[in-house]
Amino acid sequence: MKKCLAILLSAVLMCGVLSGCGGSGEDGSELTYAYNGELGNLDPNMRDTDGAIMASMSMFDTLLDPYSGEYESRVAERYEVSEDGITYTFYLRDGVTFHDGTDVTAADVKYSIENNMNSPLHAVYSDGLKEINVIDDKTVEVIAEEPNSLVLYNLAHIYILPSELHSSMTSEEFAKNPIGCGPYKFVSKNVSGEIVMEAYEDYYRGAASIKHLKGYSYSDDYSRSIALENGEVDIARVNDEAVPSLEANEDTQVIYSKNEIIQFLVLNTTVEPLDNPKVREAIAYAIDREMIVKAMYPETGYVNSILCAPAMQGYTEDVPTYEYNPDKAKELLEEAGVQTPCDLGTLDIMQRDTSVAEIVQSNLEAIGLNVTIQMNDTGAFFEMGGNGSITVGVFGGAWGGSLGHLAEITTSDNIGGGMNWARYANPEFDEYLAKAISSIDESEMQDNYKKALEILQTDLPYVNLYGYDQVFGASKDLNAVVHNNGVMDFYAMSWNA
């Protein structure tokens, strides 16, 4: 369950606003935002909530820019990759300091990566790394087990910790007064979930324009929308229902953010009749994705039968896709020799997926396949997926920036110990995906990703349901910056004069 939790913790939620609250501090440079649920652990390698994720992005920094996709320099001024694609050498820039004034060194980077390796939540970002070596105070060497095109993406998501301080205390102790090298430093938090940060004036990229940040906890989409409309916050993630009123309000703006999230059906390929590819294909044709989108995300959702989000590296539409065609689905079941009605057992879900599950249940029933919806708490759901007791399930999340990150749910070595809940095993697929991940040449990588995705879309261990973007409301006076996956970049934001 180590890596699976990281996938569910998709970055995000903040807040929105009316003109009366913009830049409400005495110097006009305060910004208030909303996040969902509890604040959580402020140790970045233990970040476990939206509140902690957003705070980590503001208080800590990384070797490379995690947002642009070009791996531009951050704490690392430059980097080199060896010809064999195994050794990555990072040269740290001068003048980078933690909020206590101490210099960021290669020893801190080494410690941070190794600490990430032991994270029960985010160890996925150090997957495939063999060793970390300090060459000198400003040079660190990262050695991968083999060529791996995901290394830079992953390292760009590991936050740098002050090694001496962090290693001298528990994660919980560090989280009480976290110290990073990011654009904002911690000031305070309270039991109600309010967190206060202020701009770090010695930040190496220059002090942030917005000097004071305040985050507030809200329990659901509706309460965040109300907070936005009432001017309690300046920016917030909202649900689709709030979009029309925000667009009609002259004091607010609506911002859309592309997602790397995919939502899909898990089909256990070892259980009859799902062990027959024709049955899985029938299910792919049976799903009315437009109905799901209209019900769930009428403003931001889109039909996508491909097990890869458009924002992910490796996505292509030049692979088998599946439109809603119940007649075709029935024909495939007949070809597979399935006598209908056929009881597939339970459709296992978590509470968040109830509405989707009801549509899927209806779609399957229409072609003669019956399922009984069973709601599970998160722990039980993950345990069932891991031990293979889910026959049909609804699941999804933000898995990473490329098709290669889906190895966790698709490759045969992730059956049992990983998240290959479909128990899918195809050596040819494994080979193409491994080649793509280890490819240094861009065209070779894309070619192998396409071949892997073609196989995946033919075998259908998972049937993708839909995709959606994230939507935010904000004050019209705020130069709001939101990256893919709903990442709020407070450092890049400013108030209009």
Which amino acid appears at position 422 of this protein? A
> Residue with structure tokens 């879900």?
349
The count of residues in the chain is 497
Alpha-carbon dihedral of residues 485, 489, 495, 496, nearest 10 degrees?
A: -60
Q: Report the pLDDT value the prediction gives residue 28, as an integer from 0 to 100.
A: 57
Q: How far apart are CA 449 and CA 443, in angstroms?
A: 10
Beta partners for 281?
A: none
Contacts 24+ apart (CB under 8 A), 21-29: 21/231, 21/232, 21/233, 21/234, 21/475, 22/234, 22/475, 22/477, 22/478, 22/495, 23/477, 23/495, 24/234, 25/211, 25/212, 27/211, 28/495, 29/209, 29/210, 29/211, 29/212, 29/495
Asked if 157 and 62 count as a contact pair (C-beta separation under 8 A), the reply is yes
DSSP string, 332-359: HHHHTT--SSEEEEEEEEEGGGHHHHHH
pLDDT in 10s for each residue of the chain, 497 residues: 444 444 444 333 333 333 334 445 445 599 999 998 889 999 999 998 889 999 999 999 999 999 877 889 999 999 999 999 999 999 999 999 999 999 999 999 999 999 999 998 898 899 899 999 999 999 999 999 999 999 999 999 999 999 999 999 999 999 999 999 999 999 999 999 999 999 999 999 999 999 999 999 998 888 998 899 888 999 999 999 999 989 998 889 999 999 888 999 999 999 999 999 999 999 999 999 999 999 999 999 999 999 999 989 999 999 999 999 999 999 999 999 999 999 999 999 998 899 999 999 999 999 999 999 999 998 899 899 999 999 999 999 888 889 999 999 999 999 987 899 999 999 999 999 999 999 988 899 999 999 999 999 999 999 999 999 999 999 999 999 999 889 999 999 999 97
* C-alpha 493: how far from chain center: 22
Q: Are 252 and 474 in contact (CB under 8 A)?
A: yes
Assigned token pair, 274: 């799902």
pTM (two decimals):
0.84
Question: Nearest CA to 225 among 207, 240, 210?
Answer: 240
Alpha helices in 187-254 (DSSP H): 221-229, 243-248
The helix/strand/coil state of 391 is: coil
User: What pLDDT, on a 0 to 100 scale, did the predictor assign at position 91?
Assistant: 98
User: How far apart are alpha carbons 60 and 79 in whole angstroms?
Assistant: 20
Radius of gyration of the chain from its Cα atoms, rounded to whole angstroms: 23
The structure tokens 């195809």 sit at 426
pLDDT at 27: 55
According to DSSP, the β-strands at 212-218 and 76-81 are unpaired
460: helix, coil or strand? coil
- Classified as helix, coil or strand, 223 is helix
- Report phi then psi at 325, rounded to 5: -155, 80
| CA atoms of 130 and 132, how far apart (whole Å) | 7
- d(CA 456, CA 451) in angstroms, rounded, equals 9
With beta carbons less than 8 A apart as the criterion, state whether 451 and 434 touch: no
234: number of Cβ within 10 Å: 31
**How many helical (H) and strand (E) elements, i.e. helices and strands, does the chain have?**
16, 22
**pLDDT score, position 162:** 98
C-alpha–C-alpha distance, residues 307 and 50, integer Å: 25
**Which structure tokens are listed for 332?**
């495939």
